[in-house]
């Protein structure tokens, strides 16, 4: 079993910045590999959608709505992923979830979600 612990959400004015962090840790044993890590978000009344994902092979994918404003980074030694969010807009308001896919802790690989962190952008 793996836990994803997020931090960094909050309330910010339009045009402001926030940085989200997510660290993966094994409840028992250790994490040998994580294929990809990233962020999803879910606004009230809407489906959860991918914001940015960072794969082991270095490929990064952003949703079109955040390109040029958000930057994802990853620290494999710390099993962590970060999301720098600049030029925030009210439409970025959502619960942001950390997601890790292909997490290898033994003989199998599984996917995990964080608990979510609220980001609110308003004047």
Phi-psi region of 102 (alpha: psi -120 to 50; beta: other; left: phi over 0): left
Which band of pLDDT confidence, cut at 50, 70 and 90, is reported for residue 17?
A: very high
Tens-digit pLDDT profile for residues 108-119 = 899 999 999 999
The pLDDT assigned to 51 comes to: 98
User: What does each C-alpha distance from 72 to 28, 55, 95, 99, 108 come to in angstroms?
Assistant: 28, 11, 17, 13, 26
Six token digits for residue 14:
């339009």
Tens-digit pLDDT profile for residues 84-95 = 999 999 999 999
Tens-digit pLDDT profile for residues 52-83 = 999 999 999 999 999 999 999 999 999 999 99
| Cβ atoms 79, 25 nearer than 8 A | yes
The pLDDT assigned to 28 comes to: 85
Residue 78 CA to residue 82 CA, distance in Å, equals 11
Average pLDDT of the residues in 14-32: 95
């Amino acid at each position: 079993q793996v836990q994803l612990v997020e931090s960094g959400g909050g309330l910010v004015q339009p045009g402001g910045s926030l940085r989200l962090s997510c660290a993966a840790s094994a409840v028992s044993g250790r994490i040998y590999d994580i294929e990809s890590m990233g962020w999803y978000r879910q606004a009230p009344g809407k489906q959860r959608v991918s914001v940015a994902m960072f794969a082991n092979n270095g490929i990064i994918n952003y949703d079109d709505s955040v390109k040029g404003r958000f930057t994802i980074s990853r620290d494999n030694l710390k099993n962590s992923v970060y999301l720098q969010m600049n030029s925030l807009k009210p439409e970025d308001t959502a619960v942001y979830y950390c997601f890790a896919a292909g997490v290898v802790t033994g003989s199998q690989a599984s996917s995990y979600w964080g608990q979510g962190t609220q980001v609110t952008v308003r004047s």
